[in-house]
A and B are shown apart, each in its own frame.
Chain A
Amino acid sequence: MIRAHQLTKRFADKNAVDGIDFVVEPGRVTGFLGPNGAGKSTTMRMILGLDAPTSGSVSVNGHRYAASPAPLREIGALLDAHAIHPGRSARDHLRWLAASNGIPTTRVGEVLDLVGLESVAGQRAGRFSLGMGQRLGIAAAMLGDPPVVVLDEPVNGLDPEGIRWVRTLARQLADEGRTVFISSHLMSEMALMADHLLVIGRGSILADCSMTEFMSDHAASYVRVKAPALGDAANLLTGRGLEVTRVDDELRIGGMDAPSVGELMFRHGLMVHELTLVRSSLEDAFMTLTADSVEYHASTEGAVA
């Protein structure tokens, strides 16, 4: 479990992370979502004790990370897949990590197996593709078989097969009762992977809810109508007090479900060619949500100036 309390990080003159509170629970995959520069990586570095919070605190398994008696066995992290010495082999990279925490060397072979890098383990990591680097980073995170796993943008640079593999691994780790915290700036990826969502924008938490809740709260829906007499249909529906927008050769109707719209059209003798309930994607919902936070900040800054 990871718990942040009023966690704040100030760089120069702006708060990269602005007094956030959250809890990452075990047994589920928590997606940490936000546009680039929202404060995701800074938060993750503070979780790992790499950056000191300006104020507030964050704990892992009930204590500060730096106080852990067995750091790599309590929390495994992938922060940056590029952060490897290019001249050292994958196996040697894992060997020094294992040695630093007294983890038996046999574990190195196991995690290389787990991520599918055993055949290239002797190669210098500088020759690795970004995807192989990500796999090595995940191997490093799993070295201590930790109950808390933190992965910063783990699907960056992975091919579709690799992305599916990360998804399956995350699911499996959560099912084993581990705390899984994965950041991404891609909503579509999170939608497939996460049970719970933590959305961050401009250093503040914008949403902290289950994926289902997020969808019903933020993903807008409308009914698309295509009809030969579009003008008559528009008049009829507007007359009923519905929100109607005309886009090219279709009407978008909010505030009524598809069957009711169909019945209404039928009773007034209007022919319908298409009647569809359209839900906007999570990507749209996420964009809307974070765009709001950007606008909010822009307007307050303007007001101060």
Chain B
Amino acid sequence: MSATLMESGAVVERTDVRRPGLGAVLRSEWIKLTTVRSTWWTLVATFVLGAGLTILMCWGNADWLASEGADESPGSFITWGMMIAQITAVVLGALVVTTEYGTGMIRTTFAAVPARGRVLAAKSVVVVAVLFVVGTVTAFVGYFGGNYFLDREGIGMSLEGDVLRAMYGSGLYLAGIGLFTVAVGFLLRHTAGTISIVLALMLILGNMVNLVPGEFGEWLTKLMPGNAGSAIATPVSFNPNLLDAWTGFAVFGAETAVLLLLAWAMVRRRDA
């Protein structure tokens, strides 16, 4: 395919022009992500809520957890804040996509990068990378802070096995949530709608399906994206009836992949 370009003030025909690759689109999406304040606010909120609430809960419950009457495991508290921090991951995943639709900037994006699948891929990669790093760091800080109080009561946990897995598991879970929301964002193209639907699915519907009776209800609960995915972010889950950490995360990954495929098909077909 030849390209018609301007060179030294004259119109020329060139046949050796190669289309900029995924790397260029990734750089572009990275600049977009890092040049708006909402990204920084969201990430600060992730850190403050994720690490802060974990430390607060460990401080407040260490005494009780060490006592005879405790019916929960300290392992359920060591990444407690992540349950709340997942909300900020939803917000980040939505904003990266839906603000472009809200302002109409998506047309500028698709005019600059007509291969729309690359835009979806690049947005996915930057969201996953940022949330994985921030989520993991947050979990570690929460662990060190929270474990200090648990240690004082003699119920501290060493950083190995399931506890260590829960650290990068927290990063993986936030990254997964962000990616899930990116897909929903491309499907709905609306900020408030995307955030509400994902939060309702993760936090409200995920708990309500508990009420569905019988084995069907049990499986439904296990397979809901928020329930399946979150087990990896904690050494001991509050809910004993969830899938195993990695099995659950694989289910959550598959659900996210289906949504992404759907989003990809729609983005290619739909008028921008």
Interface residues of A (CB under 8 A from B): 26, 45, 48-52, 61-63, 65-74, 77, 79-80, 82-89, 92, 95-97, 99-102, 140, 145-148, 176-178
Chain B hits for A71, CB < 8 A: 111-114
Nearest Cβ on chain A to B2's Cβ, whole angstroms: 8
Can you give 21 contacting A-B residue pairs, CB < 8 Å? A48-B111, A49-B111, A61-B3, A63-B1, A68-B1, A69-B1, A71-B112, A73-B17, A77-B111, A83-B108, A84-B103, A85-B100, A96-B29, A97-B108, A100-B25, A100-B109, A102-B20, A147-B11, A176-B9, A178-B6, A178-B11
Please measure, in the bound complex, the distance between the C-alpha atom of A107 and the C-alpha atom of B17, giving whole angstroms.
Answer: 18
* B104 interface residue (CB < 8 Å to A): yes
Q: Is the CB of A26 within 8 A of B17?
A: no
* B38 interface residue (CB < 8 Å to A): yes
Which B3-27 residues have a C-beta within 8 angstroms of A? 3-6, 9-11, 17-20, 24-25, 27
B118 — nearest CB in chain A belongs to which residue? A100
Q: Is the CB of A100 within 8 A of B112?
A: yes
Q: Is the CB of A97 within 8 A of B28?
A: yes
Q: Which 5 A-B pairs have the closest CB atoms?
A: A83-B104, A100-B28, A92-B35, A66-B114, A61-B4
Chain B, residues 161-190, CB within 8 Å of chain A (1/0): the string is: 000000000000000000000000000000
Chain A hits for B115, CB < 8 A: 66
Q: Is the CB of B6 within 8 A of A147?
A: yes
Please measure, in the bound complex, the distance between the C-alpha atom of A57 and the C-alpha atom of B51, giving whole angstroms.
Answer: 56
Please measure, in the bound complex, the distance between the C-alpha atom of A69 and the C-alpha atom of B25, giving whole angstroms.
Answer: 14
Given contacts A87-B37, A96-B35, A147-B5, 6 further A-B contacts (CB under 8 A): A69-B3, A69-B18, A71-B113, A79-B107, A79-B111, A100-B28
Q: Among the listed A66, A70, A87, which residue makes an inter-chain contact with B38, where contact means beta carbons less than 8 Å apart?
A: A87
* B31 interface residue (CB < 8 Å to A): yes
* B110 interface residue (CB < 8 Å to A): yes
How many residues of chain B are within 8 Å of chain A by beta carbon? 41
Please measure, in the bound complex, the distance between the C-alpha atom of A3 and the C-alpha atom of B10, giving whole angstroms.
Answer: 21
Interface residues of B (CB under 8 A from A): 1-6, 9-11, 17-20, 24-25, 27-29, 31-32, 35-38, 99-100, 103-105, 107-115, 269, 271-272
Q: Is the CB of A145 within 8 A of B27?
A: no
Q: Is the CB of A50 within 8 A of B20?
A: no
Nearest Cβ on chain B to A70's Cβ, whole angstroms: 5
Please measure, in the bound complex, the distance between the C-alpha atom of A60 and the C-alpha atom of B99, giving whole angstroms.
Answer: 29
Nearest Cβ on chain A to B127's Cβ, whole angstroms: 15
Chain A hits for B25, CB < 8 A: 100
Given A99-B24, A100-B25, residue A147 in contact with residue B112 (CB < 8 A): no
Nearest Cβ on chain B to A269's Cβ, whole angstroms: 65
Chain A hits for B109, CB < 8 A: 100
A143 — nearest CB in chain B belongs to which residue? B112
Chain B hits for A26, CB < 8 A: 11
Q: Is the CB of A85 within 8 A of B108?
A: no
Q: Is the CB of A100 within 8 A of B103?
A: no
Nearest Cβ on chain B to A10's Cβ, whole angstroms: 12
Q: Is the CB of B99 within 8 A of A73?
A: no
Please measure, in the bound complex, the distance between the C-alpha atom of A48 and the C-alpha atom of B108, giving whole angstroms.
Answer: 10
Nearest Cβ on chain A to B105's Cβ, whole angstroms: 5
Chain B hits for A66, CB < 8 A: 114-115
Q: Is the CB of B24 within 8 A of A83?
A: no
Q: Is the CB of B114 within 8 A of A99?
A: no
Q: Is the CB of B11 within 8 A of A70?
A: no
Q: Is the CB of B36 within 8 A of A87?
A: yes
B26 — nearest CB in chain A belongs to which residue? A99
Chain A hits for B36, CB < 8 A: 85, 87-88
Nearest Cβ on chain A to B258's Cβ, whole angstroms: 25
Nearest Cβ on chain A to B71's Cβ, whole angstroms: 47
Q: Among the listed B27, B37, B107, B114, which residue makes an inter-chain contact with A65, where contact means beta carbons less than 8 Å apart?
A: B114
Nearest Cβ on chain A to B267's Cβ, whole angstroms: 12
Q: Among the listed B20, B108, B112, B272, which residue makes an inter-chain contact with A51, where contact means beta carbons less than 8 Å apart?
A: B272
Chain A hits for B17, CB < 8 A: 69-70, 73
Q: Among the listed A63, A70, A145, which residue makes an inter-chain contact with B19, where contact means beta carbons less than 8 Å apart?
A: A70
A76 — nearest CB in chain B belongs to which residue? B111
Nearest Cβ on chain B to A224's Cβ, whole angstroms: 48
